[in-house]
């Protein structure tokens, strides 16, 4: 009796099974619906977990997640010393191209990290956040090939234009979080992260706009004095885009439209847009880019559009590293969150983040810069040089009679009071610089501490990784010398310290 054995090789897809960490090669031939986009973003975060994380900052009216992909070397921890950058796409649901291009950008940054020098430097030095779709509900109602668009796709499920729904506190705001949960989530996200630079991606035109102050409520000179900076940021994108830099984009719906170098001011008279909210409330400079004449171009054009926009998308991220950066700290080594950074000649101030770190975008020149915080004496540094393409490092130490209150338990801090003010003492810092504490520290704590030391003392320290552990943790080496990062012949290598943890 003979037994015949048959071995069937069946693809996993036929059985309805998927390998959770496999990312299929991009074809540039189809748009991703919500389910497909979610699946792809989750696969990215699983395969590239050492530089990528995926979180939802809220939900749409119809319950879809508002996904944000974060790409940096510490994707699950808040780390000082890196400017935070964001792209937001698909604010209007029927403007679908931006959504797709941002998914492509995510894949490009992840797959080219460690291969492409420029991408590797961007990811190492920048905290990059990408929200491919702010209006996932509207997208599901949009129609591929519809270049003009419709309100059903443009607005959210409660029929609100999300870009025009950011609140101005000086005006009566009738919309609620139930009407525009997408906007509520993004507003909170902007305030929490204090992004340095942002790009808002739209469709239906090929041009770039930046905010222009309308004079109705806020300071009269803030946006005017930053006009040259906004134009520089805008040109960075348009000059790297083969269509935007043309005098005439030749859009079929408006063939005679000409806009010079592709840049216009966006004068918002009746409603606040996301650009204004970023600038006035969130420390963030944001420029809006229209990526294509057609709002929802056929999928057959996706690869061409990706080719047109890839270089511009990358070049714009680099601009988060211009101007001046540093920390505002107390004499005891505590970072001061929410300290104010003021630039002479402009009324537009920014504030420090949770570690006391700040980033102020500026064009080349010389500036008088002041750091101040309630309860401390302000500190002004005059004639600070800012060069092209690289942020000047400028740290501040603030002193005052109440400085030592930072060492107290928050419940023990007294109140600072004057005729008009009754507020708690200086804010409690989350900076890792504190009084020496003899205890074991986690890898994340050690990494944060080393990066902060390296940022504050760049003239004598150089931090690098000698490799990675089995689980992907960096093997940090800190060089301490008078000329860090430079090999010196004849010098004895005493100043290299290998730091690691067992976790």
Q: Of 424, 455, 483, which one is at a domain's C-terminal end?
A: 424
From CA 191, how far away is CA 289, in angstroms rounded?
22
Among residues 368, 432, 374, the alpha carbon closest in space to that of 398 is found at 374
Looking at the structure, tell me whether residues 275 and 399 fall in a common domain. Answer: no
Contact 337, 433 (CB under 8 A): no
316 and 335 belong to one structural domain: no
Among candidate residues 257, 287, 321, the one where a domain is terminated:
321
Within this chain, do residues 328 and 317 fall inside the same structural domain, yes or no? no
Nearest residue to 338 via CA among 349, 322, 348, 323: 349
**Looking at residue 294, what is its pLDDT?**
92
**HSE-CB for 252 with a 13 A CA cutoff:** 7
Q: Let me know if residue 434 belongs to a domain.
A: no
Mean pLDDT of 41-68: 97
Is the domain of 59 the same as that of 175?
Answer: yes
In whole angstroms, what is the distance from residue 391 CA to residue 386 CA?
Answer: 7
H or E element, residue 336: none
Mean pLDDT, the chain, rounded, equals 80
Is residue 24 assigned to a domain?
no
Residue 184 structural domain: 34-321
Model's pTM, two decimal places?
A: 0.78
- According to the model, what pLDDT value does residue 381 have? 96
Phi-psi map region of 6: left, alpha, beta (phi>0 left; psi -120 to 50 alpha) = beta
Over residues 230-239, the mean pLDDT reads 93
pLDDT at 269 over 50: no
Residues 128, 161: one domain?
yes
Name, of 20-29, 156-165, 344-353, 360-369, the range with top average pLDDT: 360-369
Higher pLDDT: 483 or 190? It is 190
111-140: b or e for each residue (b if 16 or more CB lie within 10 Å)?
Answer: bbbeeeeebbebbebbbbbbbbbbbbbbbb
Query: What is the four-CA torsion angle of 69, 209, 221, 171, rounded to 10 degrees?
Result: -70
What tokens appear for 318 in the block?
């680099």
How many structural domains does the chain have?
A: 3
In a domain, 11, yes or no: no
Span 144-175, pLDDT tens digits:
998 987 777 898 888 888 888 886 554 545 56
pLDDT in tens, 424-451: 344 444 444 443 445 565 665 577 667 6
Q: Are residues 315 and 331 in the same domain?
A: no
Average pLDDT over residues 481-486: 79
User: Above pLDDT 90, what percent of the chain?
Assistant: 49
Q: Is residue 123 part of a domain?
A: yes
Pairing type for strands 357-360 and 350-351 reads unpaired
Evaluate whether 96 touches 203 at the Cβ level (below 8 Å).
yes
Write the DSSP string, 398-459.
Answer: E--TTGGGGGS-GGG--EEE-SS-EEESSPPP--S--S---S---HHHHHHHHHHHHHH-TT
Q: Are residues 353 and 205 in the same domain?
A: no
Residue 118 lies in a domain: yes
Tell me the pLDDT band of 253, cut-offs 50, 70 and 90.
Answer: low
Decide: 392 and 384 in contact? Cβ < 8 Å: yes
Among residues 284, 302, 321, the one where a domain terminates is 321
Residue with tokens 């001011």: 265
């714009």: which residue's tokens? 316
pLDDT of residue 10: 41
pLDDT given for residue 271 in this prediction: 43
Contact, 375 vs 400, CB < 8 A?
yes
Residue 268 lies in a domain: yes
Region at 90 (left for phi over 0; alpha for psi -120 to 50; beta for the rest): left
Measured between alpha carbons, how far is 258 from 241 in angstroms, rounded to an integer? 16
Which of 21-30, 92-101, 249-258, 369-378 is predicted least confidently? 249-258
Give the CATH number for residue 391.
Answer: 2.60.40.1120
Q: Are 139 and 203 in contact (CB under 8 A)?
A: no
Token output for 140? 């599901």
C-alpha atoms less than 13 angstroms from C-alpha of 188 in its C-beta half-sphere: 12
Q: Confidence class of residue 237 from pLDDT cuts 50, 70 and 90?
A: very high
Question: What are the tens digits of pLDDT across the range 8-19?
Answer: 444 434 333 344
Residue 179 lies in a domain: yes
Task: Report which of residues 456 and 205 the model is more confident about.
Answer: 205
Lowest mean pLDDT among 125-139, 397-411, 450-464: 397-411
pLDDT tens string 422-431? 333 444 444 4
Pick the range with the lowest mean pLDDT from 55-64, 114-123, 246-255, 394-403.
246-255
Report how far residue 236's alpha carbon sits from residue 261's, in angstroms, rounded to the nearest whole number. 11
Residues 335 and 402 in one domain: yes
The stretch 400-421 carries a mean pLDDT of 42
The verdict on residue 5 lying in a domain is: no
Please say whether the beta carbons of 185 and 66 come within 8 A.
Answer: yes
pLDDT digits (tens, 9 = 90+) for 87-103: 999 999 899 999 999 99
- pLDDT per residue as tens digits for the range 354-374: 999 999 999 999 999 999 999
Q: What's the pLDDT score for residue 21?
A: 62
Please tell me whether residues 66 and 202 are part of one structural domain: yes
Q: Do 467 and 340 belong to one domain?
A: no
- Give pLDDT, residue 278: 92
The answer on pLDDT for 403 being more than 50 is: no
Residues 317, 341: one domain? no
Task: Tell me the C-alpha distance between 56 and 41, whole Å.
Answer: 11
For residues 99-109, give the mean pLDDT.
98
> Residue 15 has what pLDDT?
35
DSSP assigned state of 107: H
Are 235 and 342 within one domain?
no
Least confident of 6-10, 59-63, 73-77, 376-380: 6-10
Q: What's the pLDDT at 371? A: 97
- Do 129 and 84 meet the contact criterion of CB atoms below 8 Å apart? yes
């Amino acid at each position: 009796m003979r037994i015949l054995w048959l071995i069937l090789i069946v693809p996993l897809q036929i059985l309805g099974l998927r390998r959770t960490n496999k990312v299929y090669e991009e074809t540039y031939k189809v748009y991703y619906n919500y389910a497909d986009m979610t699946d792809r973003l989750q696969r990215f975060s699983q395969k590239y977990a050492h530089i990528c994380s995926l979180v939802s900052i809220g939900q749409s009216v119809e319950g879809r997640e508002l996904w944000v992909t974060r790409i940096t070397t510490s994707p699950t921890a808040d780390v000082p010393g890196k400017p935070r950058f964001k792209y937001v796409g698909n604010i209007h649901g029927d403007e679908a191209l931006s959504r797709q291009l941002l998914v492509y950008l995510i894949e490009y940054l992840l797959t080219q990290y460690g291969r492409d020098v420029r991408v590797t430097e961007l990811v190492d030095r920048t905290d990059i956040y990408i929200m491919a779709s702010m209006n996932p509900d509207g997208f599901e109602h949009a129609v591929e090939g519809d270049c003009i668009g419709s309100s059903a796709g443009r607005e959210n499920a409660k029929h609100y234009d999300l870009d025009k729904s950011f609140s101005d506190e000086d005006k009566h705001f009738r919309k609620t979080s139930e009407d525009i949960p997408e906007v509520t989530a993004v507003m909170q996200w902007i305030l929490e992260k204090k992004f340095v630079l942002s790009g808002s991606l739209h469709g239906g035109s090929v041009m770039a706009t930046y905010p222009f102050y309308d004079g109705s409520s806020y300071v009269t000179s803030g946006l005017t004095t930053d006009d040259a900076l906004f134009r520089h940021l805008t040109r960075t994108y348009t000059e790297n885009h083969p269509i935007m830099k043309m005098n005439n984009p030749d859009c079929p719906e408006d063939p005679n439209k000409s806009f010079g170098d592709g840049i216009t001011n966006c004068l918002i008279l009746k409603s606040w847009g996301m650009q204004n909210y970023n600038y006035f409330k969130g420390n963030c400079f944001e420029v809006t880019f229209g990526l294509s004449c057609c709002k929802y171009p056929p999928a057959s054009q996706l690869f061409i559009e990706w080719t047109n926009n890839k270089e511009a998308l990358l070049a714009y991220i680099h601009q988060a590293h211009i101007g001046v950066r540093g920390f505002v700290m107390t004499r005891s080594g505590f970072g001061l969150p929410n300290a104010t950074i003021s630039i002479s000649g402009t009324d537009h101030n920014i504030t420090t983040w949770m570690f006391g770190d700040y980033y102020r975008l500026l064009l080349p020149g010389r500036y008088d810069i002041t750091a101040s915080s309630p309860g401390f004496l302000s500190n002004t540094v005059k004639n600070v040089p800012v060069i092209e393409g690289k942020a000047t490092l400028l740290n501040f130490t603030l002193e005052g009679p109440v400085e030592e209150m930072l060492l107290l338990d928050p419940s023990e801090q007294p109140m600072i009071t004057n005729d008009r003010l009754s507020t708690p003492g200086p804010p409690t810092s989350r900076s890792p610089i504190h009084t020496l504490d003899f205890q074991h520290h986690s890898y994340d704590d050690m990494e944060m501490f080393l990066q902060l030391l390296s940022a504050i003392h760049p003239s004598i320290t150089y931090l690098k990784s000698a490799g990675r552990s089995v689980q992907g943790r960096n093997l940090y080496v800190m060089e301490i010398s008078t000329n860090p990062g430079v090999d010196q012949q004849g010098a004895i290598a005493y100043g290299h310290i290998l730091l690691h943890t067992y976790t």
